[in-house]
Amino acid sequence: MSDLLMNVVDWSRAQFALTACYHWLFVPLTLGLGIIIGVMETIYYRTRDEKWLATTKFWMTLFGVNFAIGVATGIILEFEFGTNWSNYSWFVGDIFGAPLAIEGILAFFMESTFIAVMFFGWKKVSPKFHLASTWLTALGASISALWILVANAWMQYPTGCTFNPETMRNEMTDFWAVALSPMAVNKVFHTITSAWALSGAFVVGVCGWMMLKGRNRDHCIRSLKVGGWVGLIGIVLTSISGDTSAVTVAKHQPMKLAAMEGLYEGEPGQSIVAFGILNPAKELGNGEKPFLFDISIPHGLALLATHDYNGFVPGIEDIVEGKTRDTTKLMAKTMSFEQRREHGKAAQHALANYGDALKSRDSIGAQQYLKEIKDNFQYLGYTYLEEPKDSVPNVPLTFYSFHFMVTIGGYLVLFFIVVLLLLYKPKWVPGRNKFQKLGYWIAILTIPLAYLCSMSGWIVAEVGRQPWTIQDLMPNTVAISDLSAGYVQTTFWIFAVVFTALLIADVSIICKQISKKSKTNLDVVDTKK
């Protein structure tokens, strides 16, 4: 594969990753704050306590700033499918475009309509209608995320479609198979509930800063109760959906799971690495040990991936070599890399013959080749990979990102439990007054930790499925547009500057709003609005 082509691929991936990472800095806070604001306004609606109205408006302001910049980065992200990944868009536009179209027509319409009422309708509509608008804005944001995540899940597990050899495109045959695939269901729940956890950490951290400054304690207590509960519920549900996601990944993306664990050779009752340092000298088939040091939990990965104490989880070399191992109540079968390539070549050869048969009006031959295409098409992408190592993702990045995500996820569970104990049962937490300032700083520092945890999850999801744009069907080298590396590099740096400016503006405005509002009495609401 030419260096020039790989240069274009690498820069196209870098640009998309840059846009996605910046976009994801805004999305989870929008999803979670929408729920938190809805809960706060519901309490105000039921109690008619003006203090809850002031608290609701405070967090609503931060939601609005974050929402606006999130929309700007999201639009650019969707356009990049056409500019940088046009072959992919052409090949599966009928499938991938459908969820994105629904997101734009339904979800974005809901958000843009009801967010106006939410911000400017306090004295113009009834309290009940305003409350409904707030919840519908939050629902619209979640529905928007749902359809984007469905589209992404299809790339991880292509289903509900059939390849049309006459048009050379994948066409949707079952919309609900795409929308309700196990990969899509798990991804939607895992991502949205993790956004609740991140937003809960954001609320607790902001309140920690205010209380460190000795300001608006009562407002902070109200906010902490809602943020703490939403955060705890979010991280618990994230953990549960993470377990089901592991089973789905083990079934449909075993190479990703192997990279997540740095597993090269699997065995029945496979252990899971709780902590480990990868051996940088380890490569596919070189006989080196995968870890310099590791602490493992016996049978952990078998239980996580198969829900079987003695379950077999294939490693990277097992998948490449196509080893088959028989275990208790489980037959783990894999097809080797070379076998997948042979099946892919058979599909490629049948495609060429099918076209010739159509031209010569050989209907019997065309049907025979059509069957051969259908039998082997799922491995077509392997014909573009030259050697087994091309099918292996970046193991260190995937492994460390996964374990960082799990570690911080466990920390967040403990964090929210302690926050709620301090609120409801302060006597249960020893030395609470002595370490008060330390607690405030821990709350503040938890905000970037929650963001890094969320970002790590996306690194695992996207880097772990490389080299595929569509799992097993289309590698990155085939999906890109016909662009020069210089063009992509130029736009990369333009986007880097623009997105950094937007991020600085977002953080600056949010910090100014927090500082400004914290200096006023948030127990008093401006009734003129």
Which residue did the predictor score with more confidence, 289 or 94? 289
**Residue 39 included in any domain:** yes
Summarize pLDDT for 492-520 with one digit per residue, the tens: 999 999 999 988 988 998 888 888 766 66
* Confidence at residue 69, expressed as pLDDT on a 0 to 100 scale: 81
Asked whether residue 278 falls in the same domain as residue 372, the answer is no
* Confidence at residue 486, expressed as pLDDT on a 0 to 100 scale: 87
Instruction: At 468, give phi and psi (nearest 5°).
Output: -95, 135
Asked whether residue 44 falls in the same domain as residue 190, the answer is yes
Asked whether residue 123 falls in the same domain as residue 226, the answer is yes
Q: Which two tokens stand for residue 269?
A: 């009752």
**Residue 131 included in any domain:** yes
Let me know: does 45 contact 128? Beta carbons within 8 Å: yes
Let me know: does 161 contact 170? Beta carbons within 8 Å: yes
Asked whether residue 24 falls in the same domain as residue 86, the answer is yes
Contacts of 463 (CB under 8 A, 6+ apart): 393, 394, 397, 398, 401
Domain stops at, among 289, 313, 334: 334
Element (H, E) at 169: strand 169-172
Residue type, 70: G
**Residue 280 included in any domain:** yes
Domain that holds residue 503: 3-253+393-518
* Per-residue burial over 287-308, b = 16 or more CB atoms within 10 Å of its CB, e = otherwise: eeebbeebebeebbbbbbbbeb
**Residue 528 included in any domain:** no
Mean pLDDT of the 478-500 span: 89
Let me know: does 398 contact 464? Beta carbons within 8 Å: yes
At residue 57, does pLDDT exceed 50? yes
Phi/psi zone of residue 330: left (φ > 0), alpha (ψ -120 to 50 degrees), beta? beta
At residue 205, does pLDDT exceed 80? yes
**Residue 529 included in any domain:** no
* Confidence at residue 56, expressed as pLDDT on a 0 to 100 scale: 93
Asked whether residue 382 falls in the same domain as residue 400, the answer is no
The residues pairing with 273 across neighbouring beta strands, listed in sequence order, are: 296
Give the pTM.
Answer: 0.91
Mean pLDDT of the 311-338 span: 74
Closest residue by Cα to residue 513 from 22, 42, 65: 65
The residues pairing with 171 across neighbouring beta strands, listed in sequence order, are: 162
Asked whether residue 368 falls in the same domain as residue 485, the answer is no
Closest residue by Cα to residue 300 from 352, 261, 350, 327: 261
* Pairwise CA distance, residues 25 & 261, whole Å: 26
Residue 467: is the preceding peptide bond cis (ω within 30°)?
yes
* Pairwise CA distance, residues 404 & 68, whole Å: 30
SS3 (DSSP) at 323: coil
* Confidence at residue 506, expressed as pLDDT on a 0 to 100 scale: 87
**Residue 356 included in any domain:** yes
Q: Which two tokens stand for residue 441?
A: 């700083």
For the chain, give the percent of residues with pLDDT over 70: 93
Summarize pLDDT for 237-270 with one digit per residue, the tens: 999 998 888 889 988 899 999 999 999 988 888 9
At residue 226, does pLDDT exceed 80? yes
**Residue 177 included in any domain:** yes
- Packing angle of the helix pair 217-252, 254-261 (nearest 10 deg): 120
Asked whether residue 382 falls in the same domain as residue 401, the answer is no
Residue type, 415: F
Mean pLDDT of the 460-485 span: 90
* Confidence at residue 3, expressed as pLDDT on a 0 to 100 scale: 59
Asked whether residue 241 falls in the same domain as residue 296, the answer is no
Q: Which two tokens stand for residue 172?
A: 């949707």
* Pairwise CA distance, residues 435 & 423, whole Å: 15
Could you write out the three-class secondary structure of 79-145? Answer: HHHHHCCHHHHHHHHHHHHHHHHHHHHHHHHHHHHHHHHHHHCCCCCCHHHHHHHHHHHHHHHHHHH
**Residue 221 included in any domain:** yes
Asked whether residue 312 falls in the same domain as residue 354, the answer is no
Contacts of 251 (CB under 8 A, 6+ apart): none
Domain count, the chain: 3
Instruction: At 276, give phi and psi (nearest 5°).
Output: -160, 155
* Confidence at residue 186, expressed as pLDDT on a 0 to 100 scale: 93
Tell me what the pLDDT averaged over the chain comes to: 88
Contacts of 122 (CB under 8 A, 6+ apart): 130, 529
Mean pLDDT of the 447-462 span: 95
* Confidence at residue 524, expressed as pLDDT on a 0 to 100 scale: 57
* Pairwise CA distance, residues 98 & 178, whole Å: 10
Q: Which two tokens stand for residue 309?
A: 């104490």
Mean pLDDT of the 88-96 span: 87
Instruction: At 396, give phi and psi (nearest 5°).
Output: -60, -45
* Confidence at residue 235, expressed as pLDDT on a 0 to 100 scale: 96
At residue 108, does pLDDT exceed 50? yes
Query: For 268, which DSSP code?
Result: B
Asked whether residue 15 falls in the same domain as residue 160, the answer is yes
Rg (CA), the chain: 26
At residue 105, does pLDDT exceed 90? no
* Pairwise CA distance, residues 293 & 272, whole Å: 13
* Pairwise CA distance, residues 38 & 44, whole Å: 10
* Confidence at residue 527, expressed as pLDDT on a 0 to 100 scale: 45
Asked whether residue 214 falls in the same domain as residue 103, the answer is yes
* Confidence at residue 36, expressed as pLDDT on a 0 to 100 scale: 96
Let me know: does 95 contact 525? Beta carbons within 8 Å: no
Asked whether residue 127 falls in the same domain as residue 89, the answer is yes
* Pairwise CA distance, residues 389 & 316, whole Å: 10
Summarize pLDDT for 4-39 with one digit per residue, the tens: 666 888 889 999 999 989 889 999 999 999 999 999
Which residue did the predictor score with more confidence, 436 or 188? 188
